[in-house]
Every structure is written in C-alpha cells, then in structure tokens.
Amino acid sequence: MTRVIAATLNIFFSLFLGALALAFCAVQYPGIVNDFLIVAEGLKHNITTTDIPVQYNIWIKFLLQEQQLVFMFFVIIMRVVFALIVWGVNSIFFMAKKPEGQRDI
C-alpha cells in the first residue's frame, strides 16, 4: 500500500513542480518558453501530417495542443529531478547494512 501512496504522491508532486517550473520559466525566460512552444507546434504538425487515417487524425488535432506538450515536457523533467532527489536521500539516509563478508562488486 505504501508503494501506491508513494507513486500517487510522486505523480501529483511532479505535476505541481512542473507547473511551478513552467511558470518560473515563463516569467523569467519568456523567449525560451516561446521557443519551446514553437518546437511543440512543429512536433504537432509532424504528428498530424503522417499517414494516420482521418478518423484518428482529427482527434489528434483536436486533443493535442502545443501548451500541453510543453507542460508534459516540464512534468517529465520534474519527475526525473524528483526521482534523483529521492534516490539520493534514500541512498544517504536509508542505506541497508550489508551482512558480514558481503562486498560491493
């Protein structure tokens, strides 16, 4: 049960941190966020101009927005950063003691 709670908290915390990171970058570095939006627009164009049947392509065009792609990028970056922080804290504070005679390989 604790793994489910930890995974859920990880998702919500990374969404929150991703929104904060996006807001910070939009305020401090608007040119970079504008470049991200331009790249996301090109990515959306590349995805929607493939040979996907029209019955699916209209849903991709309708549901996939440039802002969502940029937000997903920030959320993924924050999940990686958060995972590295948790890994570092766990390795420092919760290191398992090795039994006698066991060594690192």
Q: Judge whether residue 98 has pLDDT over 60.
A: no
Burial 66-102 (b: 16+ CB within 10 A, else e): beebbbebbbeebbeebeeeeeeeeeeeeeeeeeeee
Reported as a single tens digit per residue, the pLDDT across 3-46 is 888 889 889 999 999 999 999 999 999 999 999 999 999 999 99
This prediction's pTM: 0.78
CA 76 vs. chain centroid, Å, equals: 1
Model pLDDT, residue 61? 87
Give me the pLDDT at residue 95, please.
Answer: 72
CA separation for the pair 56, 58 (Å, rounded): 6
* Predicted local distance difference test score (pLDDT) of residue 87: 86
- Contact by Cβ (8 Å): 22, 33: yes
